[in-house]
Structure formats: structure tokens, C-alpha cells
Amino acid sequence: MSIAILTSGGDCAGMNPAIKHFVDYCFYNNVQPYFIYDGLEGLIDGNIRKAVHEDVAGIMHEGGTKIRSSRSKRFFEYAYREQAYNNLKEHGIDKLVILGGDGSFRALDQFYKDFGVQFVGVPATIDNDIFGTDYCLGVDTALNMIRSATDAIRDTSASFRRGCVVETMGRDCGYLALVSAITCGAEVCIIPELPYDLENLGKKLKSQLRHGRRYIVCIVAEGTKQTQNIVNWLEHDVGIETRATILGHTQRGGNPTVHDRLMAIEFVTNAVDTLLSNASHDGLVVVYKNAKFEFVTIDYVNSNKYQIKAHLTKLAKSMVE
């Protein structure tokens, strides 16, 4: 039996620990591991080779993905999927582990329906926006990157009596911004999931400035598209000089945290064990739900939209009104 691993879509810290453990765990189980380089594009182009221990030595601490990633429009055309399948047949590969998001899982689900190649998906996206799992690989590292940047920005903002607006990634999901705002002690949190009252917030902040506040920290999710508006509001309505910092792709890099490394190992262990069980199943995603690992179908993942848990949004109440 041979199993291949690929990473698809946006990269994230935790992918390399997952790749390393995949190789080590396959050899432990007397299974030949393969790498598919460059994601779905590499699967189409036949960029596939056997993995050895030397490939993964010393990558546990590295961010990104050693086997690289891609997004592929071609894979949604049957002729290219057939080409990808023939590439797998040439190497005797009949099972796949894919690290990615819901779009990547949908692509391989169609691949399974076409050719019967079993796979298990591992949710890996800093956006943490995949329905059915409480946690996606890479989130903890991204949060720590945001925390480090926000703490540093606060230092300089306090020195100059400034406001700072920090824009986080997350597509249309405000998870990163929300958790960062809570844990960094922000005064304002702007996310798609919560309405906010700038008039009331402005009154509160102006009162605090009159009574000695030296800075204001605002965390804004990119999906709101409100970063510049919040800067303008702070400067013109609240009356404090303000700087904006867009963290961008710094949030996707960096050394994986201990938590992301451990989660990577547990996700991959569950994925490989399931593929080795010889049980017949459609495409599955290994998820982390209510503090335990379990498996759900692709249809389930696609059946609803991820929602931030209510107890977290409740914690942000003072930052939106």
C-alpha cells in the first residue's frame, strides 16, 4: 500500500510538522509514503515522488509547507482529473491525505466520485472557518503572530498617544480578529459577525482619553473592509492620531507553536489510521470537535457555514458597543 500527502490552498504553520509525522508514521506502519508537490497542480502534472526520512529531517520547526501548495482551476475539469488519476496509478498510489480547506476537500471528493481514490482531509487554514471542526491547523500560530505584532504596536502607540488599527486575515470569518482582540486587550473589535455602535464607542473612548488613556487598540477583520473607515473615525470623531497596520501574510508564516505541532501529529495519525483500516468509505475529514477527534463527510462540511461560538462573541460585547 502507498499513501501520498499534498497541501492545497493557503499555506499555514503546522503543515511541515504534519508532513514530517506523515512520513515517519507511514514507515512505522510499513507503508510507502509519497509526496505530491505543488498541490492539485502537481497532482495533474505528475510532480510526485517517494518520500524518505531525509526529506523531513529538521522541518518540525519550519513554517509553510515543504512540498509547496497551489490553487487549481484545472482540477475542476474532468480531463485534468483523469490525468491526475493516471499519475497516481503509475506510482501505485491508491490513498491520499490532503491538508487544506473546504475547497480542496470538494475537489478531492469529486476525484473520489470519478475514480474511487480514497482520501482523508485535514483542516488546515488560519481562517478557522471550516464547518464541523472547532479548530484548524495553523490557527494557534497565526494568533500568536497577531499577538506579538499587536503587543509591539501597542508599545509604540502608547509612546506617542496614538490609536492603532490592526487588520487581521480571515476572509469573511472574524475568528482571528475576535480572539486576538480579546486576548490582546483591544478597545475595539470589528468583525463581520457582530454589529457595532461607533457612536457609543466614540463617547466611551473620548471619556477615557480625557481621564488619562494613552492609546487605543482596534482589531479589524479584513472581511469587514472597514480598516480605513475605522482609522478615519478614530482621527476625526474620537480625536486621536492613528496608524493602521495590515498584518497580511505574516500571519501565515512563522515557527509553528507547540499546540499546532501537536495538533498536526494527532490529525495525521487519525487520517493515516483510517486509510489503513481497509474500511470502505467516501471522502472524510478528520475534525476536532468538543475536545476530541472524529470524522465527518464532505457533505457535512459543506452543509453549513462555520459560526464563531456564542461564548466568544459575548466576550467582545464591550468592544463593539
Residues taking part in catalysis = 127
Angle made by CA atoms 191, 197, 200, in degrees to the nearest 5: 140
Q: Where are the alpha helices (DSSP H) in 161-174?
A: none
Give the integer Cα–Cα distance in Å for 1 and 247.
Answer: 43
Cα→Cα distances 308→139, 170, 266, Å: 14, 12, 23
- In the three-class reduction of DSSP (H, G, I as helix; E, B as strand; rest coil), residue 34 is classed as strand
Q: Whose CA is closest to 233, among 221, 216, 211?
A: 216
Give the integer Cα–Cα distance in Å for 213 and 209.
Answer: 4
Q: Whose CA is closest to 30, among 309, 272, 274, 307?
A: 272
Are 15 and 137 within 8 A, CB to CB?
Answer: yes
Q: How many CB atoms lie within 10 A of CB 236?
A: 9
For the chain, percent helix, then strand, then coil, each to nearest 5?
Answer: 50, 20, 35
Are 72 and 40 within 8 A, CB to CB?
Answer: yes
Angle made by CA atoms 131, 297, 118, in degrees to the nearest 5: 130
With a CB cutoff of 8 Å and minimum separation 6, the contacts of 307 are 193
